């Protein structure tokens, strides 16, 4: 009850409607590669139990898109931006709690925010295990191609992901060079025929899914992404802690030690250790409580300050 009241009070403090300035589909024909024959229909389902607060999930995505949220005119624009990737166990997109709820804190601090609604692998897409990463790579390239229009620095775009969205974000960071789809246009390849980089400028990971190994994986996310019985090769290829090579962008990682859904030792902490072992600047915050899926409105104790901490970190370490 105390958590619900705190969340309701936070909603009141964040009063005012939130509207994207623009919705941009990622792919030329709207449907992503390998989704042309998928017949599912996109649906939005409300799950909120808190008055006056939405907690919607999006499912059945075949036409992925980003929504653009710019800082107010009276806020100093940093020119940096954040691609926000919500979680949802690779079965849905938790668009409010791990997407829109993050927007105001960052836009108030001068960052442009792009919230990604991406395809999940459970809808019969071709190369299903790649579709979330395809959408994340393409989103980075779409933002860079339109940087002047969006008012952002083309190579100042970072990535942020929560839960399974954290796995998408960490996969983007560690696999940004991987050719997950055929180039379609000048957004993908430049005039010299070179791939436009999908490398994030920084990474913010909130109680992320990281590993696909038997000991510590989030079973639901792995099953949705890799199937019932993935091979060891498939598990290794999708375990982000094993893919860190050094040279990745700075990371801000957070989790709660009482997370009963995503084991923090095998996921957030393991990814931080891989970063540290490879000389990557990474900051890890392990909060004593808040569990899993808390976003900003359901975080409590010291975890309630995590978003401001991430803003302070960006001001300190991102020049």
To which H or E segment does residue 133 belong? helix 131-145
pTM equals: 0.94
CB 204 within 8 Å of CB 82 = yes
Q: Is the model more confident about 123 or about 19?
A: 123
What are 250's two structure tokens?
């700075």
CB half-sphere exposure, 25, CA atoms < 13 A: 10
287, pLDDT greater than 90: yes
CB 308 within 8 Å of CB 105 = yes
What is the spatial distance between Cα 148 and Cα 267, in angstroms, rounded to a whole number? 36
How distant is the alpha carbon of residue 84 from its chain centre? 4
Digit-coded pLDDT (tens) for 247-264: 999 999 999 999 999 999
Digit-coded pLDDT (tens) for 193-242: 999 999 999 999 999 999 999 999 999 999 999 999 999 999 999 999 99
CB 222 within 8 Å of CB 91 = no
């Amino acid at each position: 009850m105390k958590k619900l009241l705190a969340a309701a009070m936070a909603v009141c403090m964040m009063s005012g409607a939130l509207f994207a300035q623009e919705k941009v589909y990622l792919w030329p024909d709207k449907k992503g590669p390998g989704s042309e024959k998928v017949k599912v229909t996109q649906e939005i389902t409300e799950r909120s139990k808190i008055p006056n607060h939405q907690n919607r999930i999006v499912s059945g995505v075949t036409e992925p898109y980003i929504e653009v949220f710019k800082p107010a005119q009276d806020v100093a624009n940093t020119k940096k931006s954040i691609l926000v990737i919500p979680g949802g166990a690779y079965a849905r997109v938790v668009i409010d709690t791990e997407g829109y709820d993050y927007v105001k804190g960052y836009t108030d601090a001068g960052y442009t925010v792009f919230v990604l609604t991406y395809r999940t692998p459970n809808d019969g897409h071709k190369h299903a295990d790649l579709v979330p990463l395809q959408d994340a790579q393409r989103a980075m390239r779409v933002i860079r191609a339109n940087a002047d229009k969006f008012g952002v620095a083309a190579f100042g775009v970072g990535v942020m992901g929560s839960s399974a969205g954290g796995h998408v974000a960490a996969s983007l960071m560690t696999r940004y060079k991987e050719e997950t789809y055929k180039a379609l246009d000048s957004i993908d390849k430049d005039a010299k025929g070179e791939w436009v980089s999908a490398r994030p400028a920084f990474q913010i990971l909130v109680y992320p899914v990281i590993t696909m190994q038997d000991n510590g994986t989030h079973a639901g996310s792995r099953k949705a992404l890799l199937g019932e019985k993935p091979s060891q090769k498939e598990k290794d290829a999708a375990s982000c802690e094993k893919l860190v090579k050094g040279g990745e962008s700075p990371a801000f990682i957070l989790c709660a030690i009482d997370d009963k859904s995503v084991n923090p030792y095998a996921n957030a902490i393991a990814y931080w250790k891989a970063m540290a072992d490879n000389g990557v600047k990474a900051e890890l915050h392990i909060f004593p409580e808040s569990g899993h899926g808390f976003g900003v409105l359901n975080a409590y104790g010291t975890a309630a300050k995590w978003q401001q901490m991430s803003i302070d970190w960006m001001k300190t370490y991102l020049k």
